[in-house]
A and B are shown apart, each in its own frame.
Chain A
Amino acid sequence: MELIRKTKDNISQISALVEKNVKLQLRYKFGLVTSFTISIVSILMPLIIMGNLFQTRPQIGNWNSTNFVIYQFLAYNIFLMRDMTSIFPQQFRQEKYWKTLPALIIGPFNRLNLLLGIFLSHLIVISVPFITFFLLGLFFYPISFITAMFLIILFFIVALVLSGIGLILGIFAISNENIWRILNFLLYFVFWFSCITYPYEIFPQFIQNIINLNPLYYLFDILRLTWIQDNIIITILTYPFHFILLFLLAVLLPLIGIYIFNLIYKKYGITGY
């Protein structure tokens, strides 16, 4: 009974946080629409360039002129998910400047609820463009229902990993802005070397070596491979490292984020205005 009551309380609190965050984000709707449009612009250039390249080289790795559109539609959804890394700093900084963070911190709820609230609200906000591009992908390159559902789960796990990164960035955004800026700068390169919009095979060898060291590359790559192989078992058996890394990061990064959140917030508080 106690467990049921606690679960109900947690769900009620998370739903309150989600409702509030969604309303805050929808206050200026055009900002939201433009952020979705910028992601479309980001995938247009690779589509044009790769489209030309495929005329001279019909196959680059797993990709050709037929299935490359999936690469870009997935890239669009990855861009939407990538915003997880900025939504935490943005939300925390807003709360910091509005001075609402203390009211939340002394709230009688688990800090995990606060983080889940931000995570879920962003998923809700991006759900419309995400589903649109996912359906477009299914239209251009159909896959089985089971693979599509599995992909949704994979996207959710990728979102968890990115929210873990976002959480760590968010903590520094309100406690030490210098460190936040440096981490943001480094993250820019991590994303740059993660083959979101261009396939691994077109890069020169020394860049490929750098990409091989980037965990995010494997996370994004498994989404694409699952789609074009359209056979979950074969994909898992062929790329076990990708999946292990994905699940490991999905558990570790949010936990590290929460640990740092508790440590830094309590010890150093919110500084700098």
Chain B
Amino acid sequence: MKNSIIKTENLSKEFKLKGKNRVIKALNNINIEINDGEIFGLLGPNGAGKTTLIKILTTISQPTSGGACVGGYDVIKEPKKVKPLIGLMLEGELLYYRITGYDNLKFFCKIYKVPNYDQKIKAIAKEFGLNKWLNEYVGKFSSGMKMKLALARTLLLDRDILFLDEPTLGLDVKSIDMIVNKLKNLNRTIFMTSHDMNVVEKLCDRIAFIINGEILKIGEKEEIKKLSNDEVRINVTLNNHYADLRAELEQTSFIKQVTYSTPTLKFILEDRTNFNDLISILGKYDIRSISEKQPTLEELFLSLLNHNSE
């Protein structure tokens, strides 16, 4: 049985807004448990509470109620014991723009007491393709390079538990692939947030969806993916008789949200088991193309919201 290394119990955080008694719940009774060595992905739209949760778990912010433990220590009562265990990449870069990339890494290595930092800095810079830029001011770096430098900084500190807020934001496909492989082989507990479904799918063992400060769904990757498989988004292009097909689909019980946008009819098949019935309908028409569209993260969120309200 694996040890739980991050655990929250009814964790809530409220922010007071302008005006009398106006309070917004950034986190609402969050209960999660992450095992040692697990890569955990937290997905959610802007303002869902992802960063707030990371800030509490990394002792930066305090919850309004509830509790959390990281590495077996209470983040509120024992922050000094939590700090040596954690590495953080928060809200982008956490970098000093007015000093060089090397000075940034050196500074944090000295603060975090990393031995032989010079060799390690050069090695990780080479691995991340930053070696030529290491002695330039960070202000001159592209956004992707800054992101790589920030991640290099977090990894250099060699902490057991990593909190990564959008670690692949603004990176090209090749860099994302490199970072995914790097993180996968780290053998560390990673708590990450991302908007990139592909990254999360490749990297994470378990996933949670957070919307409006509440965890809507938490589970194994396959279990979460199944949610998007219930409904199938289909795009059909016809040579003619659009109106007829549209009318027929609108009257079909297992079809919903039929829309027409030249030259494509879009609709949702409520369940894959009705696929044969759909084919028999479409067979009557002069179909030019038919394709299944993967749901975007946003669509999955909406789907989750619908599931939640039902």
Contact = CB atoms under 8 A, between A and B. Distances in A.
A16 B88 contact: no
A216 to B, nearest CB: 32
Contacts of B93: 99
A106 B113 contact: no
Contacts of A204: none
B140 interface: no
A269 B111 contact: no
A13 B95 contact: no
Given A99-B90, A102-B60, A107 B107 contact: no
A108 interface: yes
B45 interface: no
Contacts of B189: none
Contact of B99 (A9, A20, A108): A20
B299 to A, nearest CB: 31
Contacts of A269: 55, 60-61
Interface string B86-112: 101011111111110001001110111
Contacts of B55: 102, 269
Interface string B112-126: 110000000000000
A266 B99 CA distance: 28
Interface string B56-88: 001111100000000000000000100110101
A19 interface: yes
Given A102-B60, A106-B60, A269-B60, A9 B113 contact: yes
Interface string A40-79: 0000000000000000000000000000000000000000
Given A99-B94, A102-B94, A27 B59 contact: no
Contact of B111 (A17, A27, A98): A17
Nearest to B91: A99
Interface residues of B, number: 30
A105 interface: yes
Nearest to A8: B113
Contacts of A24: 96, 98-99
Contacts of A17: 107, 111
A163 B103 CA distance: 26
B111 A106 contact: no
Contacts of A13: 110-111
A106 B58 contact: yes
A4 interface: no
Nearest to A28: B98
Nearest to A110: B80
Given A12-B113, A108-B112, A269-B61, A100 B88 contact: no
Contacts of A15: 110
A102 B97 contact: no
B103 A98 contact: no
Contacts of B80: 108
Nearest to A113: B111
| Residue with the highest number of chain B CB atoms closer than 10 Å, among A16, A98, A108, A266 | A108
Contact of B103 (A20, A103, A104, A106): A20
B107 A106 contact: no
A109 B111 CA distance: 7
A104 B157 CA distance: 13
A103 B90 contact: yes
Contacts of A107: 83, 108, 111-112
Given A13-B111, A108-B112, A109-B111, A103 B94 contact: yes
A125 to B, nearest CB: 14
B100 to A, nearest CB: 8
B98 A100 contact: no
18 contacts: A12-B113, A20-B96, A23-B103, A24-B99, A98-B94, A98-B96, A98-B97, A99-B91, A99-B93, A100-B94, A102-B94, A103-B94, A106-B60, A107-B111, A108-B83, A108-B111, A108-B113, A269-B55
Given A24-B98, A269-B60, 15 more contacts: A13-B110, A24-B96, A28-B98, A98-B95, A98-B97, A99-B91, A103-B94, A103-B108, A104-B111, A106-B60, A106-B83, A107-B83, A108-B112, A267-B62, A269-B55
Interface of B: 55, 58-62, 80, 83-84, 86, 88, 90-99, 103, 106-108, 110-113, 137
Instruction: Please name the 6 residue pairs, one residue from A and one from B, whose CB atoms are nearest each other, closest first.
Output: A16-B110, A27-B98, A103-B94, A108-B84, A20-B107, A108-B83
